[in-house]
Amino acid sequence: MRELFDEVAGHSPLDPEEAVRRTTRGPQRKRFYAQAGISETPKGFGVTLDGKPVRTPSKRLVTAPTHEIAEAIAAEWDAQKEIIDLATMPLTRLANTVIDAVASRVEAVADDIARYFHSDLLFYRAGHPDALVALEAEHWDPVMFWAADALGARFILTEGIVYVRQPDQAVAAARAALPADPWSIAALHMVTTLTGSALLALALIRGALDEDQVWAAAHVDEDWNIQHWGVDEEVAGRRLARYLDFRAASGVLASLSRASSPSS
């Protein structure tokens, strides 16, 4: 269903994660190092392999804004076995995305997120059965009320998947709430594309919902279908891969929030 929303809204092909993913495809490398570590640098916290700095596919230094994020990236490298599998390293891929594809075009990535405010998953509701209608309302209505109260963004709901134009004022208010730093905007973009909802991503970064609530809200329809028709193993595998990426992005947002809080 998410694909239909993208098609209706005419989402642009801009995807910083995919841009970096294309540069990392190819033969997998054997593990060539004994241990990953962390080094403090003027620009943040670098990740090292046997003391040598890790670099992105564009040969830039991998530098994280918090020690916690750098530790998690290093842990991904330490967890690799005989072959380095980037598919199992969502934080490393996110770091590559930030440094190679987002840092120089934060506004463009923010604009791409903002396109979802024209066709967000939460706007398009089921008309039946009644139990699904109620379930969507239970998970999605609180986010809509939060957006109206906290952001001044009042969106229009509709039944089905026929595109409905959203008020320019609501889109602008939600767009103004997006962060401006590369790591936050990259993580927010990942959450948005994985959930199909920029509003859920904003609710996560603002602390209105926790990551479990966001993931559940993003999969109300899918979970309904699973409950009634069973699990497709291939679909379940893809969902697990998305969930690992989602957890990585959510963890980055949480770390940045802790680092910026007065008590940190």
Residue 264: CB partners within 8 Å, gap ≥ 6?
258
Q: Chain-wide mean pLDDT for the chain?
A: 90
The domain 16-102: what is its CATH number? 3.30.2180.10
Q: What's the token pair of residue 52?
A: 């040598």
Q: What is the pLDDT of residues 110-161, one digit of tens each?
A: 999 999 999 999 999 999 999 999 999 999 999 999 999 999 999 999 999 8
Q: How far is CA 183 from CA 69, 70, 179, 180, 253, in A?
A: 11, 12, 9, 9, 8
> Are 16-102 and 105-257 the same fold in CATH?
no
What is the Cα–Cα distance from 26 to 28, expressed in whole angstroms?
6
Q: What span, in angstroms and rounded, lies between the C-alpha atoms of 92 and 55?
A: 10
**Per-residue pLDDT tens over the stretch 60-73:** 999 999 999 999 99
Place of tokens 């893809």: 238
- Please name every residue paired with 159 in a beta bridge, in sequence order, or none if there are none: 125
Domain boundaries, the chain: 16-102, 105-257
Helix (H, G, I), strand (E, B) or coil at 69: helix
Within 8 A by CB and 6+ apart from 185, the residues are 102, 106, 109, 110, 113, 178, 179
- Model confidence, pTM: 0.89
111, containing H or E segment: helix 106-114
| Whole-number Cα distances in Å, 74 to 46, 223, 229 | 9, 34, 41
Kindly give the parts of the chain with pLDDT less than 50: 1-13, 23, 264
Tell me what pLDDT residue 239 has. Answer: 93
The CATH architecture of the domain made up of 105-257 is Orthogonal Bundle (1.10)
